[in-house]
Amino acid sequence: MSDLTSEVIEAKRAALALAALPSETKDRALEAMAAALESHKAGILEANAEDVRDSEGKIPPEMMRRLKTDAGKVDDMIASMKSVASLPDPVGETMDTVELDEGLTLYQIRCPIGLVGVIFEARPEVVPQIMSLCLKSGNAVVFKGGSEAKRSNRALFDILRDAAASEGVPKEAFVLMESREDVSEILKLDGVIDLLVPRGSYSFVKYIQDNTKIPVLGHSAGVCHVYIDGAAELQKAIDVTVDSKAQYPAVCNAAEQLLVDRKIAKFILPRVADALIAKGVEIRASPECMPHLLGLPVKEATEADKSAEYDDRIINVRIVDGLEDAIAQINTYGSHHTDCIVTEDRRAAERFIKGVDSADVMVNASTRFADGYRFGKGAEIGISTGKVHARGPMGMEGLCIYKYVVIGNGQKVADYTGPHAKKYLHRHIQKKLDLGE
């Protein structure tokens, strides 16, 4: 058995202890971790600067943007950690209570998944995000970050693990892998790791899904749309489109596709394009858009652009024949991640919400709001575009499952069978599990 496998098995054992920690201990640990990030900010930035220097010219520009960490990003990590500390503890929450019979009660109780494996690329902020969510939800975690961020990841991991341990959290609950060979090894540990969460490009997520028996919770490509409806207000449409594309283009919730209702294309297309170009965005447009974009530096789009995820300052623009055509194109060419409508028509908004099959649907709001921290989840374990267990930006609810607890007083199933069987009540009641009653 390798040293890594031994560490992972130890983390699995530690998960049981972590699941039983009181809320107060977990919250004190999170506050200590936030304070440690503040006091070690200079060291974190120095480690990241070394990673950036080593990666210059070796990784794509969008990956470099994710890798770079400044003081503002560290402040965001601290705020996120404090936000998780302020959230209610999900562990032990009573989700549902059913009175099966007098004195025989069934409780559905929220509990941790156990040991979570997180594999990610180029984003050092994932370490504090995941560690805080896993700690609060009672899960142990095994990390594997990209080699391009190895110093940043190690600095953050050591700072956070030591701070948590100072408040009584078992250090064994957190494991950081650092070699590429480690990934192949943990993909085989389906009897130990309960859930894998890959964070990175679509091809990266697909590779993980195709090479393990461990359940994988990930997202497909981030092909997000903004649809400007015929009833859109001009400035609102410009503001939402520009923010969705240009606020931070190298992430999966940035808009890649802009659809414009044919009825207003002549009027709105040149104004939206002007605003995007002013932010350094390259416009790739369908042939029927071109007459409305004369004089602007626009490239003609190809068929492949309809489903492209650029992760860069590029957007594909095309004209659609109204709301139903927009919905059909989003469901056909999109990735069921995040899609937006800009409209002042309430019925159009309702139809869009019902018709678009995506994890996140925005009405008159930027696609960039599709984020665990912005959704009030404290931080984000990842984004799921699937339809099993969790969907969309995942906070602690995505790290929890449930168990059933039946409290009785000597009841037997035999009494509920046969010609003189007792009847079940199956009555849902508002009652929390309290073993001290």
C-alpha separations of 139 from 119, 176, 291 in Å: 16, 15, 56
Kindly report the average pLDDT of the chain as a whole number.
91
d(CA 117, CA 175): 9
Q: Report residue 378 as tokens.
A: 């404290």
Q: Do residues 245 and 254 lie in contact, with contact meaning Cβ atoms separated by under 8 Å? A: yes
Find the length of the chain: 437
Tokens 């995000």 identify what position?
A: 129
Q: How far apart are CA 268 and CA 234, in angstroms?
A: 7
Per residue in 346-404, pLDDT (tens digit) is 999 999 999 999 989 999 999 999 987 888 877 777 777 776 677 777 778 888 999 99
- Give the alpha-carbon dihedral of 249, 388, 111, 136, to 10 degrees: 0
Q: Residues 9-59: pLDDT tens digits? A: 999 999 999 999 999 999 999 999 999 999 999 999 999 999 999 999 888
- CATH second-level architecture of 224-369? 3-Layer(aba) Sandwich (3.40)
What mean pLDDT comes out for the span 260-278?
97
- What is the value of pTM for the model shown? 0.76
Spatial strand order of the sheet with 140-144 comes to: 174-177, 140-144, 115-120, 195-199
pLDDT exceeds cutoff 60 at 263? yes
Q: What is the pLDDT of residues 160-213, one digit of tens each?
A: 999 999 999 999 999 998 877 788 888 999 889 999 988 776 777 888 888 999
At residue 436, the pLDDT reads 61
Report, as an integer, the average pLDDT of 255-277: 97
Distance between CA atoms of 53 and 147, rounded to whole angstroms?
13
- pLDDT at position 382 is 72
The rounded distance, in Å, linking the Cα atoms of 63 and 179 is 19
pLDDT score at 223: 94
What are the b/e assignments for 252-279, b being 16+ CB within 10 Å? bbbbbbbbbbeebbeebbbebbebbbee
The single-letter DSSP state of residue 216 is B
**Is residue 1's pLDDT more than 70?**
no
Does the pLDDT value for residue 423 go beyond 90?
yes
* 13: enclosing H helix or E strand: helix 3-19
Smallest Cα–Cα separation from 224: which of 206, 243, 208?
243
**Containing H/E element for 231?**
none
Q: Which residue has the tokens 């912005």?
A: 374
Task: Determine the Cα–Cα distance for residues 23 and 62; give it in Å rounded to an integer.
Answer: 39
Query: Is residue 99 a contact partner of residue 180, using CB atoms and an 8 Å limit?
Result: no
Q: pLDDT at residue 330 above 90?
A: yes
Structure tokens at 115: 């040991």
Higher pLDDT: 182 or 218? It is 182
Count of beta carbons in the 10 Å neighbourhood of residue 425: 14
113 or 2: which carries more pLDDT confidence?
113
Q: What is the CATH T-level fold of the domain 3-218+395-399, as seen in this structure? A: Aldehyde Dehydrogenase; Chain A, domain 1 (3.40.605)
Instruction: Phi first, then psi: give them for residue 24, nearest 5 degrees.
Output: -60, -40
Using 50, 70 and 90 to split pLDDT, how confident is the model at 219?
A: low
Write out 356-392 in H/E/C secondary structure: CCCCEEEECCCHHHCCCCCCCCCCCCEEECCCCCCCE
Return the domain boundaries, the chain.
3-218+395-399, 224-369
